[in-house]
Every structure is written in structure tokens, then in C-alpha cells.
Amino acid sequence: MSWRRIFRTPVPEEVDEEFAFHVEMRMREYLAEGRTLDEAREAAVERFGDIEEVKAICRRLATERERRTRMTTWWKDFAQDVRFGLRQLRTRPLFAAAAVGTLALGIGANTAVFSAVNGVLLTPLPFEEPERLVEVRTRYLPPSGFDIPRFPISVPELLDLREASTSFEALGLYTTGTRTLTGTEGEPTRVPTVFLDRAALEALGVEPVIGRWFTAEEDVPGVAIGLIGHDLWVTAFGADPSIVGRTITVDDREFTVTGVMPEDFALPSPAYQIFENVGVDPADPGNRAGHGSVGLGRLADGVTMERLRAEAEAIHAGWAEQYRHNVAHFPIFERLPENLVGADVRRSLLVLLGAVALVLLIATVNVANLLLARGERRQVEVAVRTSLGAARGRIVRQLLTESLTLAVLGGALGLLLGHLGLQALLRVDPGALPRTRHIGLDGTVLLFTAGVTVVATLLFGLLPALRAGRDPGGELTGGGRATSPAGRTRFRRILVTAEVALSLVVVLGAGLIGRSFQRLTAVDPGVEIDDRLVFQLQPTGAAWQEEGALPRFYEQLQSRLAAIPGVTSVAGVSHLPLTGSQNRNDFLIEGRPPPADGEPILSAQWTAVLPGYFRTMGIEPLRGRLPTEADRTGTEPVVVLGQSAVDRYFAGEDPLGARVAIARDSVVWGRVVGVVPDTRTTGLDADVIPQIYYPYAQGAGFVWQPSAMYVTMRAAVPPTSLVAATREAVREIAPDVPLTGVGSMQSVFDRSVSRSRFLANLLGTFALVALALAAVGIYGVVAYSVSRRTREIGIRMALGAGRSEVTRRVVAEGAWPALIGIMVGLPLAWLATGALSGMLYEVSPRDPVVFTALSLGLLALAVLSSWIPARRATGLAPTEALRE
């Protein structure tokens, strides 16, 4: 019977043979009746009608039946294997927990990083054909002096560009700011606002959910008209469709709402919820030197960036002819998608993706080791099954299915862990990644996790399954070369080497990023961070334009806030350190001729301060004095310089007594009365911008009087405990002025390093996981090998070998492969960390301290992981060991 099963005749031949038999039997009947051979055959065949057709019907039926049987058998086998696998896991819960846990870590890490990659990089942007969208800024290259690679563009420059260029389908501009929304239920709110023109809307090409864009004719200076964002529409206006055409009150003016933007529209970020007309009059576009806008354009079909840049160069050359001054700004073009996501974010995510891939490999190596150890214990079982008739392929399939079951359990757990972990991290650090709204568990992430699970199964399960199926018969008889003890141990050692090498790469990467982060946060921001509370105010509206109203308000506010118990001092500043401001203005120094063509222009950040600011923020003057209440309108305007302004513009000379003024039509001079150390306004890793501080009260007429100010408070108690009292105080004095950004200075600091911290934390976590896995892996291998050799160890010790000698031998078993792993891993890491070069602050990607320290640390860990099982084994009394 089994012969027939192996040498089955295929279906068509079977049908032929069956019918041939029937025909032959019928022929016998007819022959017996007396017909001739031919008559008999003809008559017999005729009984079938169209015999070929009948045969065809039967063949089809037979093939269908066979296919169905095959599938049913396959599924039955599969279900049986899964049940068997689950039962096996139940009988060995420790093994199951170890394997499932390891896989969960490896797969979960991949899920987490991939869902971030998916949301941030892969989810399409909410614009049509986003690759054709381009932002236009300028590069500020005065003949000598600064080189600011990224600076806003001025309106006249953009209009000129629009006129001269043929590369754009539409080219508009935008700028950002904040408006106060009143008149809705609840307090007045500050809403980040985008000011843009019709051309920018056309370039973006985003259809509003309801309503329409505004037309170029409607975009008139002095009129406020535009669209609102979807979130604002829902929260402030209850998604009322009648908002279209209505007016709302923004900055005490009437703003006509023409439409609502779709929910996922975000430019430059989801916080911006009002899209107002920019109000540029083409006949009077303003100062060519006033750089405060960003161009937004859609490239015409087929235009490349090269062509655009070449054209811009030509256009700029034309400007140089036409305008003698103000040509130090060269238009630069960047693709909008890269700007929205940021090259640094992209690089960080890719680095993380690489790291988790390595972690997954390490995890699969561990599980493979576990399976190999288990496999050896099950060799007898496999051998018996083979001798009972199971085909080798069937056994391999069964073992693979067990591995798949393991992987699916690990993958499900990992999916949960990865998703929850990432969500938790994002809640802690919301500013760390852009487009977090799109990060979550969607179909793509699930599919990816499933794919990773399958790959992991193949990686850790295929080899042990194939090995188990090989030469099983040999096991029963005690032979079997392929799975000899020596071969097995050597293979496991190779796995340990691989594991250690991969871990080293991850650990070194994390170490470099960590050191970079440490260096970054060690940078002195120039102000004291502890015990400070800050918030921002922007009184807007006609009432505040009255002369003297703003200074009076801030004066009043200062004294009212100073009265709050727990507050040591109160002050204010127009640009708070670490908030990313890059504002600069050109200025003049009395007695020096204005720079001619080709000479460096004097440029600094002019910052208004309320009296007591430097003391409040812990800044000690270096020379001269600080502004006081005595410096107000009517007295001589004074300024205080930051140290780098002195270094750059007063090279060595004493600046006290010199006079400076903003470079504009009406020049008003102020006297330098003091010098203070630098503070970092843009960020810890950005260059220091030269600072010129002036008293707020003297702003009108001398420089300008910003309505928006950051209020800074120094406290003797935890700053956040003062928030309620602060709000109360502001509400008392100015109920219609909203507070924004209330928080401790520490949180401002944290936010400014949030991206770096996020990467350092995540990479650090993965490195710890890799270390833990490697340590567990080494421990497992040594412990297993020791457990096999307890007898041998017992004999050695009974024959007089010292405990430490035997321990040393065993430790070497784990330590040697680890050492080789480190030596293999170092060149790999050398190559890999090259990818980090753009991301490190003051740390070389091959920093010798990091490399040496972490390599030694890993080696020490390997030795420790080998020492523990060694110690335990040699602790057994020799008689016990011999009994094993």
C-alpha cells in the first residue's frame, strides 16, 4: 500500500486506465454474444457516448477532490502543529517566557521606531504634489563678516523674483505671528497665525473643507480676511458651518472668515490656526532691507532645483546692477517637505531604525540559542518520530510552526509594548517629533510588525529546525556527526561572537549620542535656569497703541507680580534665551562711517529689557552698569552690550561711552553704559548672536517698543507653584490680555534640547536592551555548557583542580567569544558611527574615550555573565557533581 502512495499515478492516467478496464469488460460481453472484435469495441465505447468528454469531466472532478484533500490535510497538520507548539510552551514556561520576552523586546522596538517613521516620514503631506512645493529664503553673505545660511526674504525681493522668474506656477509669501482671538466663550486666546497672500494659497493648492480662499482683490492692507484651521473651528466655534462669511474678533479687529482648512493641514505646524491675508500693497511693498517673510511657491511642471537655482543666480546678478546696496541676500530654495520634517529628524529616525534592526538580530540570536539548546533535548523525540515514518520535511515544518507560534506570541506582545512605549515617550516629550498626529497603530504598522515577525521566525527558527531534522537516526544509535557536541558548542560560540559584535555597535552609537547630549546640556546658556518662572504676554488692540500705555502696563505688572509671596524679583525681556529667536538688525556706531559696499555691516539682536532683568536672570555685569528705572523717556537712551558684540565690533577697545543707533532713516543714538556676558538666544548649539540691550521704557523713538514681552520671575519657592497667583495678578490688571507659555525656565531649557534628548533616551534604551540581551545570551550559553559538563567539572575538582582554576576555564569559554566579538565589532562600529557625524555636538564619531570605555565595559559584562554560572557550578561538592 505505501508503495502505491509514493509512486502515485497522476489523475489523467488513472481515469484512462479505469475506463479502459470497463471497455474491455464490455467487449468480453459482446464477444461472447458473437460480435467481432471491432464491433465489440465500437459498441463498448459507444455506450459512453462521447467518451473523451466523460473522461474530461471525471478528470476535473478527481483533480478538484485531490486539491481539496491536500488543503484540508495541510490545515489540519498546521493546526495540530500549533496546538502541539502551545502545549510544549506550557510544559516549559521558563523557556517560553524567555523566548517570548526576548522576541517581544526585539519586535516591539521595531514597531515603535517604525510607527514613528511611518507617521513622520511616510505619511504623505497634506498638500498636492508636495515635492513641487518650495520655500524661498535668503542667504545673508555680506562681503566679509557674517554668513547666515538661512535668513528670511524681504517682500520687495520676493515680488521682484516673482516677476522675473519663469520657474514657478505660483509664488506667494507668508510670515508668521500671533493674534489674540476674543469674543468666543472662554478667555481670550493667543492663536499662532500665518499671514499669507493669494499666490501662496494657490501654490499650496489645498481645498478648504468649507468655504473658499480669499481673492487677490480682497487682500488689501488694513483689512483682515482669511481662513481658520480645522481644530480652531471645532474648539472655538463648535464646527458651525455658518462661520463662512461671518466675522470674528481678532486683535480687536474684524476678521472675515472665508473658509476652514482641512483637518490635517499644517503649515508650518499644527499650532497655526489662523490664515490671514498678508496685506501687501504691490505698489508699496516696503523696505527692501526688511527681511521678515518666507516665499512659498509651486514649481512649474518639469522645473528642477538646478534650473531654479541657476535662474535665481541670474536674477540676483540683475539686482546687483539695479540696487547698489542690499544685495547681500541671495535667494535660496528648499523643498517644503524637507523643511516641515527637518533633515535632522529624518537622520535621527534612520539611525534609530538601524539600531532596532541590530537589536532584533541580537534578540533572534538569543532565541536561536535557546532553541538549539531545547533542540538537543528533543533529539530523541525527533528520532523516534522519524523512525515511525514522519518525513523530514514534515518535521522541519512542525518545528518551524512551533517557532512561528513563539514569534507570533512575541510579536503580539511586542506590538503592544512598542506602541504604548512610544506613546508614553511622546507624551513626556511632545515637541520631540513633528507630525505626531500621524503616529499610531495603523494598517502599515501592523503589516510591518507581521513582516518583522516572519523574518524573525526564519532567522531564529530555520537553522535549528533544519539541524534537528538532520541525521536524527544517528542520535538513537549514539552517532551523528552533524550534531556532535563539539560542533554544537562551536556554533553557539559563533552566535555569541555575533551577538557581542552587534551589541557593541548599538552601544557605541548610543554612547556617542549620549556624550553629545551631555556636552550640549553642559553649555552655559548665559542665564540661570533654576527657580525661574516665565510667560509671554502680548497686549494687542487699539487701546494699547496710546503713547506710554505699554510701558505703564509693564511697570504696573512688575510691581504687582513682585508683591506675590515667594517672588524674589520680576523683570521682562523681548527675546527670551533658548527660544530660537534669530532676529537681527543692522546698526551704526557713532564716529564710524556707514559701511561702504563690500564692508562688513554691523548687525546685532536688539533686545528690550525691563529694569532688573539681568539681576532676575542671574547675569552679572562685566563692565559698567545695568539699566535701571531711571532710564526712561526723557533721559538719555542707554544700551548694554553683550560680550560678543564687543568682541566683534569693538575689537579690544573699551566700548563704554560709545554711541550706537539702529540703522534706519531716523537715527537716534544711545550710549553704551555696560557690558554683560553672552546669552544664547537661539539655542545651546547655535552660534551666539551679538546682543544689544535697551530699556523698554526708552523703546519708543529710540528703537521700538515691542508689545509682546516675556515676563521673567525669580522665585524662592518652586516656580510652578506661583502659576495660579501669577494668572490672577495679570487678570487683575489686564483681563483681556491672555497669558501664554507659562512655565518654568527649566521647561524652556528642556524644550530647546528636546529633540536631542529624545534621540539620546531612545537610543540609550535600545543600547540597554542590547546589553541585557547579550548578557543573558552569554550567561545562557555558559550555563548550558556547564550544565552538560557538571560531571567533568566534578572529576576535575575531585582530582585536585582548584576552584578558581576551574572557574577561570569556564569563564574563558564565555569571555573568549565575547572578546572576539568586540574585535569584530569595533571595525563595524567604526563604519557605522560615521553615519552619526552630522548629529554630534562637540564629539567625534570615533571618540576614543567612548570607544575604549564601552568596549571594556562590554567585556567586563561578558566576564561577569560567564562568572556567575561558573561559580555556581564549581560550588557543587565534587560528590554531588559526580552523581549528576
Partner 1 sequence: MPGKPLLYGTLDTLVLKTLEHGPRHGYGIARWLETRTDERIQVDESSLYPALYRMQKKGLLASEWGRSELDRRAKFYRLTPKGRKVLAKETEEWASFAEAVSRVLLGSGEA
Tell me which residues touch partner 1 (CB under 8 A).
Answer: 4, 14, 17-19, 21-22, 24-26, 47-50, 54, 57-58, 61-62, 64-65, 68
- CB closer to partner 1 out of 44 and 753: 44
Beta partners for residue 181, in sequence order: 189, 250
- CB closer to partner 1 out of 52 and 281: 52
Residue 819: CB partners within 8 Å, gap ≥ 6? Answer: 859, 862
Please count the other Cβ atoms lying within 10 Å of the Cβ belonging to residue 87.
Answer: 10
* Least distance (Å) between residue 61 CB and partner 1: 4
- CB closer to partner 1 out of 47 and 377: 47
Distances (CA, A) of 488 to 510, 791, 871: 33, 19, 23
Task: Determine the Cα–Cα distance for residues 647 and 689; give it in Å rounded to an integer.
Answer: 12
* Least distance (Å) between residue 26 CB and partner 1: 7
- CB closer to partner 1 out of 67 and 552: 67
Closest Cα to residue 413, out of 449, 366, 462, 361? 449
Phi and psi at residue 674, in whole multiples of 5°?
-165, 170
* Least distance (Å) between residue 79 CB and partner 1: 20
* Contact assessment for residue 575 and residue 607, using Cβ atoms and an 8 Å cutoff: yes
- CB closer to partner 1 out of 17 and 240: 17
* Least distance (Å) between residue 58 CB and partner 1: 5
- CB closer to partner 1 out of 14 and 169: 14
- CB closer to partner 1 out of 58 and 462: 58
Please count the other Cβ atoms lying within 10 Å of the Cβ belonging to residue 544.
Answer: 16
- CB closer to partner 1 out of 21 and 75: 21
* Least distance (Å) between residue 81 CB and partner 1: 25
* Least distance (Å) between residue 368 CB and partner 1: 43
What does the block give as the cell for 195? 499671514
What does the block give as the cell for 90? 506550557
- CB closer to partner 1 out of 25 and 97: 25
Positions of E strands within 189-287: 189-196, 210-211, 224-228, 247-250, 253-260, 274-277
- CB closer to partner 1 out of 50 and 547: 50
* Least distance (Å) between residue 6 CB and partner 1: 14
- CB closer to partner 1 out of 43 and 812: 43
Task: Determine the Cα–Cα distance for residues 227 and 17; give it in Å rounded to an integer.
Answer: 82
Dihedral of CA 835/838/841/847: which sign? positive
Please name the amino acid found at residue 219. Answer: D
* Least distance (Å) between residue 72 CB and partner 1: 11
Alpha-carbon radius of gyration of the chain: 39
* Contact assessment for residue 639 and residue 660, using Cβ atoms and an 8 Å cutoff: yes
* Least distance (Å) between residue 48 CB and partner 1: 5
CA angle 222, 225, 227 (to 5 degrees): 150
What does the block give as the cell for 653? 577697545
Task: Determine the Cα–Cα distance for residues 862 and 504; give it in Å rounded to an integer.
Answer: 12
* Least distance (Å) between residue 21 CB and partner 1: 5
* Contact assessment for residue 638 and residue 626, using Cβ atoms and an 8 Å cutoff: no
- CB closer to partner 1 out of 61 and 724: 61
Beta partners for residue 688, in sequence order: none
* Least distance (Å) between residue 25 CB and partner 1: 4
* Least distance (Å) between residue 77 CB and partner 1: 19
Residue 664: CB partners within 8 Å, gap ≥ 6? Answer: none
* Least distance (Å) between residue 32 CB and partner 1: 13
* Least distance (Å) between residue 11 CB and partner 1: 10
Strands 585-589 and 603-609: antiparallel
Task: Determine the Cα–Cα distance for residues 561 and 708; give it in Å rounded to an integer.
Answer: 17
641: three-class secondary structure by DSSP: strand
* Contact assessment for residue 504 and residue 854, using Cβ atoms and an 8 Å cutoff: yes
Please name the amino acid found at residue 139. Answer: R
Grid-cell match 562568572, residue found: 867
* Least distance (Å) between residue 382 CB and partner 1: 32
Closest Cα to residue 250, out of 221, 227, 271? 227
Distances (CA, A) of 169 to 105, 158, 293: 50, 15, 19
Q: Go through the chain and tell me how many residues it has.
A: 884
- CB closer to partner 1 out of 27 and 617: 27
- CB closer to partner 1 out of 4 and 324: 4
- CB closer to partner 1 out of 19 and 330: 19
* Contact assessment for residue 505 and residue 767, using Cβ atoms and an 8 Å cutoff: no
* Least distance (Å) between residue 67 CB and partner 1: 10
- CB closer to partner 1 out of 65 and 325: 65
Closest Cα to residue 550, out of 534, 562, 539? 539
Residue 664: Cβ-neighbour burial (10 angstroms; 0-12, 13-18, 19+): middle
* Least distance (Å) between residue 375 CB and partner 1: 39
Task: Determine the Cα–Cα distance for residues 252 and 273; give it in Å rounded to an integer.
Answer: 17
What does the block give as the cell for 406? 513563539
- CB closer to partner 1 out of 28 and 552: 28
Closest Cα to residue 801, out of 878, 882, 879, 871? 878
What does the block give as the cell for 366? 538569543
* Least distance (Å) between residue 776 CB and partner 1: 52
851: three-class secondary structure by DSSP: helix
- CB closer to partner 1 out of 29 and 442: 29
Beta partners for residue 714, in sequence order: 532, 569
What does the block give as the cell for 168? 514657478
Residue 57: CB partners within 8 Å, gap ≥ 6? Answer: none
